[in-house]
Structure 1
Amino acid sequence: MSDEVVNTEGVSNAQSAREAVRRVLGEVHTEITEFPAGNVAVTVSSDRHSATIDGHPDTGYGWTVDPGEDDGFTGHDELAPTLDDALKAVRAAFAAGPA
């Protein structure tokens, strides 16, 4: 998994997010929703873990690893200034231990 930064000018936030997921996490199941204001909701899952990341390039990203089924959307305790930073933190959490 690479820490390379890629220029994504002229690319939609959803496209940029999908490229970032592949670059940082590799091939994981990914669902991305882009909203009219440009914010994205990203869900990624591996064999043992899942994570949700929500945010916008201008305001940062909140993320949660292995959210509980009964949590609903209660916000994120973890914050990162960039999507790459959030994905790197998710990668570290996925590698840290069993579900």
Structure 2
Amino acid sequence: MTPQQARDLVRSVFGDGIHAEVTGFPGGNLSLALCGSRHSATVDGHPDTGWAYTVDPGEDDGFTGHDQAADTLEEALRAIHGTLTE
């Protein structure tokens, strides 16, 4: 999955109401920072190994890990959809 494909998937799940910053890494991992009007989320992962995500991460959570996991990026995005679109 490319960063552009990830952006397209975010748009497909959320429409235009969510701001997404997508960073791709040489190994194929992606990192997404998503911002809604009142909430934010981070999603990190790779299509082959799965996706981990956190909604409303604290400033000190930086790189300490995520509290939720999903097999696909779409599954992760749909799991956080309700919170980000409040």
TM-score (norm 1): 0.80
| 1:65 alignment counterpart | 55
- Higher helix fraction: Structure 1 or Structure 2? 2
In the alignment of these two chains, the number of paired residues is 85
Report the alpha carbon displacement of residue 25 of structure 1 after superposing the two structures with TM.
1.2
Q: SS in structure 1 opposite 2:10?
A: helix
Q: Provide the alpha-carbon RMSD of the alignment.
A: 1.3
Shift in Å, 1:93: 2.8
- Alpha-carbon distance between aligned partners in 1 of 2:22 and 2:84, rounded to the nearest angstrom: 19
Q: Which of residues 6, 9, 22 in structure 1 aligns to 2:11?
A: 22
Please, which runs of 5 or more residues in structure 2 have no aligned partner? none
Structure 1: 4+ residue segments shifted above 2 A: 92-95
Structure 1: stretches of 5+ with no match in the other structure? 1-11
Q: Give secondary structure in 1 for the equivalent of 2:63.
A: coil
Of structures 1 and 2, the one scoring higher in RCO (CA 8 A, sep 6+) is 2
Task: Give me the identity figure in percent.
Answer: 54
Query: Normalized per residue, which structure has more strand?
Result: 2
3-state SS of 2:59 partner = coil
SS at match of 2:60: coil
What do the CA deviations read for 1:65-92 (whole angstroms, capped 9, x no partner)?
Answer: 0000122211111000000000000102
Counterpart contact for 2:35–2:84, Cα < 8 Å: no
C-alpha distance in 2 between matches for 1:41 and 1:32:
6
Asked if residue 76 in structure 1 is aligned to residue 66 in structure 2, the reply is yes
Indicate whether 1:42 and 2:38 are aligned: no
Give 1:54's match in structure 2, choosing from 44, 51, 58. 44
- Structure showing greater Rg: 1
